[in-house]
């Protein structure tokens, strides 16, 4: 436990350091000012309004401010992966009882939906019933996150109880997912489970005003918001802009003050050069990792020696230095988000194939393995996604890295729909780019990506040893046991079997107008988007 606490402390310090790596002035000591409209740009489209159903940040950024969550990542400390606080619940976060299988939450009184309906525990239960146990025909994108949940109930008007089938370290993270918007039971009962796809009624800091599809979403301040004194803004306008150049110029030209997803390093430098101290930059590690997936059904990638050779040839430590100047990647890490208490230390990482400090030794071993497997100097096709940042940039770097062990690699780039069809249906690839992008940092849930049985693992393999380690991990409530099991899992997935390989973790860069205050960068573009603590410094406008 001591080890875990020390790791939490280090993570918190690292997080704070990252969050404060700002070019402009810090805002912590300033008193928030009320008023003003925040204009921001969003690079993705809104499919439906139902957060329970959708997976894109194009829903989160413009619509999350209309809703509240039962619990959320602390908006004043979003860098911490473990600092969850109550939003609609009351007081400190509930500690589990009954051996870690029961979570009881007291619900705030006096909270009202925007249509005036009072919020009770029944609304929370109805919301989570929809997310975890949706009726037949009703989609729920994250119900598998709650595999450990047995039931959700409301023993009293303001008490909610979650009963788990087994204790799980993944539960709180799943509960704090930013898509778990609280809906009114009345809306669900009277209008059905699809009503929220086209209608909005939440308890969030802002009230829906209008949505012009493809153009913008507008919200105005909700006077009855349950966090006293908030929100500070009078309203906001989320302007849709699919092209990065438009979003960048919009901030430069004053049409928008911020973009919450992130820009590449060059864009940050251009903005800072053009606007100087009128721009503040916040940077952070990003809970997205770029990976490669060999197709285990295709020879010679069914041979672990060949897969190990592929990962051994990648100079991650050197690549981090150069690629971070041109792409949205930076940090070298294992299966767990870097800096998280469950993540591998640098020393632990350097024992894994492909992370050795001596790249020449690593490449010599890669060549030996290829020779031993009888495929030295082989050719293959690398399948990549037709998106520049960071896929094509990193893909091109990887091809060069593989060339250094004598491999001849060509690249097949496909637009997103065809790329996914290849991975999921056609499976006619040899080695493919892949990625693992998550909202809340919830390592025990996030690392399922490396399991052959996972729906989003496209390697077509079975690894019973890895599955067994994971099943023990999922059912472990003890942090030290979790740490031990995760290291075994990491070694098995990335080294012994090299069933998939991580390249670099993404790096989030948010340059914004310096008058935007209160918003703190999180390690995910899905997090901390309710905007209730954001304010505008009128002196800087």
Answer yes or no whether residue 57 interacts with another protein by CB under 8 A: yes
Nearer to another protein, 121 or 251 (CB): 251
Q: In angstroms, what CA-CA distances link 439 with 72, 143, 287, 427, 443?
A: 11, 15, 7, 27, 11
Answer yes or no whether residue 540 interacts with another protein by CB under 8 A: no
Nearby residues of 117 by Cβ (< 8 Å), 6 or more positions away: 184, 186, 201
Tokens standing for 43? 């690079």
Answer yes or no whether residue 143 interacts with another protein by CB under 8 A: yes
CB of 461: closest distance to another protein in angstroms?
A: 17
Residues 491-510 that bind another protein (CB under 8 A): none
- Cα 259 from chain centroid (whole Å): 16
Applying CB under 8 A, the span of 43-51, 305-313, 345-353, 483-491 interacting with another protein comes to 43-51
Among 22, 46, 359, 440, binds another protein (CB under 8 A): 46
Answer yes or no whether residue 55 interacts with another protein by CB under 8 A: yes
**Listed residue (304, 407, 317, 403) closest to 354, CA to CA:** 317
x/- letters, 425..464, toward another protein (CB under 8 A): xx-------xxxxxx--------xx----xxx--------
Among 68, 79, 140, 476, binds another protein (CB under 8 A): 140
**Pairwise CA distance, residues 144 & 55, whole Å:** 14
Instruction: List, in sequence order, every residue forming a beta bridge with 238; answer none if it has no partner.
Output: 40, 217
Residues 157-216 that bind another protein (CB under 8 A): 197-198, 212-216
Among 41, 70, 257, 431, binds another protein (CB under 8 A): 41
Applying CB under 8 A, the span of 42-50, 149-157, 164-172, 323-331 interacting with another protein comes to 42-50
CB of 194: closest distance to another protein in angstroms?
A: 9
Strands (E), 295-418: 379-385, 408-414
**Pairwise CA distance, residues 279 & 273, whole Å:** 9
Phi and psi angles of residue 133, each rounded to the nearest 5 degrees, phi first: -125, 65
CB of 421: closest distance to another protein in angstroms?
A: 3
Nearby residues of 299 by Cβ (< 8 Å), 6 or more positions away: none
User: Is residue 40 a contact partner of residue 256, using CB atoms and an 8 Å limit?
Assistant: yes
CB of 315: closest distance to another protein in angstroms?
A: 24
Among 56, 153, 199, 453, binds another protein (CB under 8 A): 56
SS3 state at 86: strand
Applying CB under 8 A, the span of 28-36, 95-103, 419-427, 490-498 interacting with another protein comes to 419-427
Answer yes or no whether residue 256 interacts with another protein by CB under 8 A: yes
Phi and psi angles of residue 385, each rounded to the nearest 5 degrees, phi first: -90, 140
CB of 369: closest distance to another protein in angstroms?
A: 29
Residues 280-309 that bind another protein (CB under 8 A): 288
CB of 193: closest distance to another protein in angstroms?
A: 12
Answer yes or no whether residue 420 interacts with another protein by CB under 8 A: yes
**Pairwise CA distance, residues 199 & 10, whole Å:** 43
CB of 257: closest distance to another protein in angstroms?
A: 13
Answer yes or no whether residue 37 interacts with another protein by CB under 8 A: no
Strands (E), 74-119: 84-86, 102-106
CB of 184: closest distance to another protein in angstroms?
A: 20
Q: In angstroms, what CA-CA distances link 43 with 72, 165, 246, 527?
A: 24, 40, 9, 16
Instruction: List, in sequence order, every residue forming a beta bridge with 102; answer none if it has no partner.
Output: 97, 163
Answer yes or no whether residue 242 interacts with another protein by CB under 8 A: yes
**Pairwise CA distance, residues 380 & 294, whole Å:** 11
Among 5, 45, 408, 541, binds another protein (CB under 8 A): 45
Answer yes or no whether residue 538 interacts with another protein by CB under 8 A: no
Answer yes or no whether residue 474 interacts with another protein by CB under 8 A: no
- Cα 413 from chain centroid (whole Å): 24
Nearer to another protein, 397 or 526 (CB): 526
Task: Give 206's DSSP letter.
Answer: E
**Pairwise CA distance, residues 119 & 109, whole Å:** 8
Nearer to another protein, 60 or 469 (CB): 60
Answer yes or no whether residue 345 interacts with another protein by CB under 8 A: no
CB of 106: closest distance to another protein in angstroms?
A: 31
Size of the site for another protein (CB under 8 A): 63
Answer yes or no whether residue 60 interacts with another protein by CB under 8 A: no
**Pairwise CA distance, residues 397 & 517, whole Å:** 37
Nearer to another protein, 93 or 141 (CB): 141
**Listed residue (539, 496, 533) closest to 233, CA to CA:** 533
Tokens standing for 435? 């990625």
**Pairwise CA distance, residues 60 & 92, whole Å:** 25
Nearer to another protein, 183 or 402 (CB): 183
Q: What is the largest CA-CA distance in the chain?
A: 71
Among 141, 378, 413, 479, binds another protein (CB under 8 A): 141
The residue whose two tokens read 């997090």 is 527
Among 5, 10, 26, 47, binds another protein (CB under 8 A): 47
SS3 state at 285: strand
**Pairwise CA distance, residues 182 & 125, whole Å:** 9
**Pairwise CA distance, residues 104 & 505, whole Å:** 35
CB of 455: closest distance to another protein in angstroms?
A: 5
Among 130, 185, 226, 237, binds another protein (CB under 8 A): 237
Residues that bind another protein (CB under 8 A): 41, 45-48, 54-57, 137, 139-145, 197-198, 212-216, 237, 239-243, 245-246, 249-250, 252-256, 274-275, 288, 415-418, 420-422, 424-426, 434-439, 448-449, 454-456
């Amino acid at each position: 436990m001591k080890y875990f606490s020390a790791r939490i402390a280090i993570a918190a310090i690292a997080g704070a350091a990252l969050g404060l790596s700002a070019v402009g002035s810090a805002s912590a000591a300033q008193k928030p000012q009320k008023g003003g409209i925040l204009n921001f740009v969003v690079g993705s489209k809104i499919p439906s309004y139902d957060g329970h159903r959708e997976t894109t940040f194009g829903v989160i950024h413009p619509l999350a401010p209309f809703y509240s969550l039962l619990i959320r990542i602390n908006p004043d400390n979003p860098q911490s992966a473990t600092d969850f606080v109550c939003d609609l619940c009351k007081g400190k976060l509930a500690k589990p009882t009954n051996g870690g299988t029961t979570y009881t939450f007291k619900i705030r009184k006096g909270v009202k939906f925007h249509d005036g309906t009072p919020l009770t525990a029944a609304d929370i239960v109805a919301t989570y019933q929809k997310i975890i146990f949706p009726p037949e025909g009703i989609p729920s994108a994250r119900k598998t996150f709650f595999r450990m949940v047995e039931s959700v109930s409301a023993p009293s008007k303001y008490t909610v109880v979650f009963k788990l089938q087994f204790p799980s370290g993944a539960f709180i993270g799943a509960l704090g997912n930013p898509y778990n918007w609280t809906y009114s039971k009345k809306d669900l009962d009277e209008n059905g489970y699809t009503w929220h796809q086209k209608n909005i009624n939440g308890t969030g800091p802002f009230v829906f005003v209008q949505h012009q599809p493809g153009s913008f979403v507008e919200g105005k301040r909700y006077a009855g918001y349950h966090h006293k004194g908030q929100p500070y803004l009078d309203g906001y306008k989320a302007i849709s802009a699919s092209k990065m150049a438009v979003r960048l110029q919009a901030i430069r030209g004053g049409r928008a003050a911020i973009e919450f997803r992130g820009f590449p390093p060059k864009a940050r430098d251009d903005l800072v050069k053009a606007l100087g101290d009128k721009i503040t930059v916040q940077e952070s590690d990003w809970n997205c990792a770029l990976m490669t997936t060999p197709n285990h059904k295709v020879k010679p990638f069914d041979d672990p020696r060949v897969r190990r050779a592929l990962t051994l040839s990648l100079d991650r430590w050197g690549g981090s230095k150069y690629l971070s100047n041109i792409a949205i990647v930076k940090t070298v890490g294992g299966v767990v988000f870097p800096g998280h208490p469950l993540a591998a230390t640098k020393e632990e990482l350097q024992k894994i194939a492909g992370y050795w400090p001596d790249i020449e030794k690593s490449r010599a071993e890669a060549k030996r393995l290829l020779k031993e497997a009888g495929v030295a100097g082989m050719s293959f096709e690398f399948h990549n996604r037709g998106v520049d940042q960071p896929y094509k940039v990193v893909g091109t770097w990887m091809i060069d890295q593989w060339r250094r062990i004598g491999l001849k690699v060509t690249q097949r780039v496909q637009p997103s729909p065809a790329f996914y069809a290849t991975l999921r249906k056609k499976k006619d690839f040899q080695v493919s780019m892949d990625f693992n992008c998550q909202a809340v940092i919830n390592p025990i849930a996030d690392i399922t990506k490396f399991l052959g049985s996972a729906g989003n693992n496209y390697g077509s393999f079975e690894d019973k040893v890895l599955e067994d380690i994971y099943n023990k991990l999922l059912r472990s409530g003890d942090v030290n046991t979790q740490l031990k099991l995760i290291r075994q899992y990491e070694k098995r997935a990335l080294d012994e079997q090299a069933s998939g390989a991580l390249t670099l973790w993404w790096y989030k860069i948010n340059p914004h107008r310096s008058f935007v205050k209160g918003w703190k960068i999180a390690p995910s573009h899905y997090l901390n988007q309710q905007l209730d603590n954001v304010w505008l410094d009128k002196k800087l406008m």
